[in-house]
């Protein structure tokens, strides 16, 4: 059964008591290719979420749950 990306993000965000934006940044930061996200914003709130993602260490199960959801899009 396919689970939507948003559902996976919301579940992980709830478990970590954070926003889905932070989870997405954390996902990118944990990518094996060592991708560095570019926020492209001057909105302080969004920049703060990107910084908060540096403190969120997703488990491999959480990371692969995101990855699997993205592959189904």
Task: Write the pLDDT tens digit of every residue in 11-44.
Answer: 999 999 999 999 999 999 999 999 999 999 999 9
Using CA atoms, how far residue 33 sits from 10, 30, 41, 69, 71, in Å, is: 24, 8, 23, 19, 17
**What sign does the CA torsion over 50, 21, 39, 31 have?**
positive
Q: What is the pLDDT of residue 3?
A: 74
Q: Is the pLDDT of residue 6 over 80?
A: yes
Tell me if residue 56 falls in helix, strand or coil: coil
Q: Is the pLDDT of residue 73 over 90?
A: no
Q: How far, in whole angstroms, is CA 53 from its chain's centroid?
A: 8
Of the pLDDT bands very low, low, confident and very high (cuts 50, 70, 90), residue 69 is confident
Cβ-proximal residues to 22 (8 Å cutoff; 6+ apart), any chain: 13, 16, 49, 52, 53, 56
């Amino acid at each position: 059964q396919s689970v939507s990306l948003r559902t996976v993000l919301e579940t992980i965000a709830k478990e970590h008591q954070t926003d889905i934006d932070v989870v997405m940044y954390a996902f990118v930061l944990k990518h094996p290719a060592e991708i560095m996200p570019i926020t492209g914003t001057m909105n302080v709130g969004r920049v703060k979420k990107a910084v908060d993602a540096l403190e969120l260490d997703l488990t491999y199960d959480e990371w692969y749950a995101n990855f699997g959801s993205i592959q189904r899009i």
